[in-house]
Amino acid sequence: MGKEYTIQGVKVSFPYERAYPSQIAMMSKILDALEKGRNALLESPTGSGKSLALLCASLAWQKRERGREEDAEEEEDTLNEGGSNGFMSSSVPTPLHPELFSRRPRKRRVPKIYFGTRTHKQITQIIRELKSTSYKDTPMTLLGSREHACIHPQISKLKSSKTEACRELTDRRNNENSTGCMFLNNVKSKMSSHQSLAAHRKTNEVWDLEDLVSVGKKTRTCPYFVTRELMPQAQIIFCPYNYLIEPMIRKSLEINLKGNILILDEAHNIEDSARSAASFDITQDQVREAMEDLESMAKVELPQTYNALASFCSKVSNWIDGSCSNLDDYSDFNSASKIWTGTEFLAAFCLFGLNENEYHDLSSNLNEIIEQRSATINEISEGFKKGPPPPVLNRTKYRDDYRVALTRIQTKNTMKQRRSSIDGWISKGQKKVAQSIGYTYSLHFWCLNPALSFIGVKDDLRSVILTSGTLSPMNSFASELDVSFPIMLEASHVIDKKQLFISALSVGPQGHSLMRHTLTQKVILFKMNWVKLFLEICNSIQNGILLFLPSYRLLNKLRERWEQTGISDKIQETKRLLQEPRFAHEFENTLRDYTDAANYPEGQQNGAILMAVCRGKVSEGIDFADNMARAVVCVGIPFPNARDPQGMIGMKYRRFEP
């Protein structure tokens, strides 16, 4: 049974009998921000119910605003009816009674809520929270990729390239006799509104992507395009937050943030995401392939336009050839690089005739091709057509917020050839392996200023609300994004200190030091005193234990060593031992196995261990509640690679070093 709170003059329906003090504080700050049209930076520890507070407060405010909109419409209808019923003589000219018209309320537009999280998995958890509230019938949609939403019997089975296959199928200009995708064709007639979706689902409740895929299969309707179709009427829209901060994605999905509300949950990574959104990488091989494709297209249509684009690619490739001899910043034996500031790079490019005029010609030629292509390509390129020129090519102060790197990485190409037998027939079992060493040249445009991704966004929004368990220090966080956050909160945790044990262990059970230099971290993992310590943890703590290591390389070495020395067998006497896979399609099964073993141990085992990587799939976006994480063990500190050029440049940039 829930409870209703009145906070900042807004009635907020809460699904439980009592909200935590931190949730009350969060909801108060959220409502203050929305009411005044200000931005908020809210920190609340993991597990303190911040996502539920976000949903309840924002949707309560939106519901109040919808009520005001309905009241305003009723008042306007009353005034209109009054004019026709004699209160205002129809023979009197309108200008003689301006005061009657000035009192008419202006039509209110209730802001939409764009709710961004880092991963699709987090969206599923947020929607699960929303289902527990009284706001569960709010018209909504969620935006995702075709990779997660496609139900076409052939395309959905592809391990990659689902997006390209879908675009090709739905582009009827590729084949005039094609009927396209039947699942897309059914969207308009079967599920183009929230009402029709509710009728098929037999409920008005909010849904997640799995729900939509299920009903899509039953009605033979494409879930991906249904989510797009529902956007105009949706009052809250869920999506990964790169959809909201990357201009090209916003344009292609027709996301209009003007006057609306942007909420980013788990926003502690937003700086990295913002930098990534304004960055770009391309290899010389890709440039050459593009040039060859453009030259081929020039033989078919628009020869002048395609040849101009091919010429641009040729100039870029030639510039790389001319610059690769000057690579002097060796980070290791297999790679080399050279780095320019934005100003230096533009000057170097101009020597090859690649200047701002060339960019505008490039844009013009691309737009001409886009106009000749299908609506599908329009969808992809809409951001390029309508968006502002990239800051690196803009004659503004932002050029030196970029660094451009040309890198050379040594690669080994392995070729397997079957040997022929003496009589000339190919033998199945005999293979000859040949290796050739080559180099891959890549051009990287690295944005160092996350604020660039917020240019043109922050001023359009009614409010920006960023939340996470770790945002401090808040002042530096706000300055990095160049966004003013007049409303801030650092909430306390909801649990008592006695319920949590945190310790940094520097010695093992026998008093031997666990402290080592980063370069010898792998040695620590093989030391018996570390293993004994971990075995004691396994024996002492029931249910689930998460073990985090700095990298996949160390994780694999540790697991291999444990298998060789019999340590894995000792651990599995008390815990089932599982490992985070590198590939996403394998992860769901691993997580399911861990959940079952942690919650329902079998035989002599008292739970499970999930070995994972810091900054990996396990480390964020998954709710390891209760028995899923009775202990979390971190080995070492996951510092970024000290030799990584991008990391080194970022540190210098933040220190204002040249």
pLDDT at 80 over 70: no
Q: How far apart are CA 274 and CA 242, in angstroms?
A: 8
Q: Which of these, 64, 27, 76, lies nearest to 489 by C-alpha position?
A: 27
Name residue 281's beta-bridge partners: 444
1-81+105-143+231-277+462-497 belongs to CATH 3.40.50.300:
yes
**N-terminal to C-terminal alpha carbon distance within the chain:** 60
Listed by start position, the domains of the chain span 1-81+105-143+231-277+462-497, 280-418+430-447, 501-634
The residue to which tokens 């009657």 are assigned: 100
* pLDDT band (50, 70, 90) for residue 646: confident
Supply the pLDDT for residue 13. 96
- pLDDT above 70 coverage of the chain, percent: 81
Supply the pLDDT for residue 268. 85
Report the pLDDT averaged over residues 559-578. Answer: 90
Supply the pLDDT for residue 79. 64
Angle between the 303-323 and 356-372 helix axes, to the nearest 10 degrees?
140
Q: What residue type is assigned to position 409 of the chain?
A: I
Structure tokens at 119: 């991963």
Supply the pLDDT for residue 126. 94
Q: How far apart are CA 390 and CA 280, in angstroms?
A: 11
393: CB partners within 8 A, 6+ apart: 346, 356, 359
Q: DSSP for 315-333?
A: HHHHHHHHHGGG----SBT
Report the pLDDT averaged over residues 442-457. Answer: 88
* pLDDT band (50, 70, 90) for residue 179: low
| Mean predicted lDDT score pLDDT of the chain | 82
Question: What's this model's pTM, rounded to 2 decimal places?
Answer: 0.82
* pLDDT band (50, 70, 90) for residue 615: confident
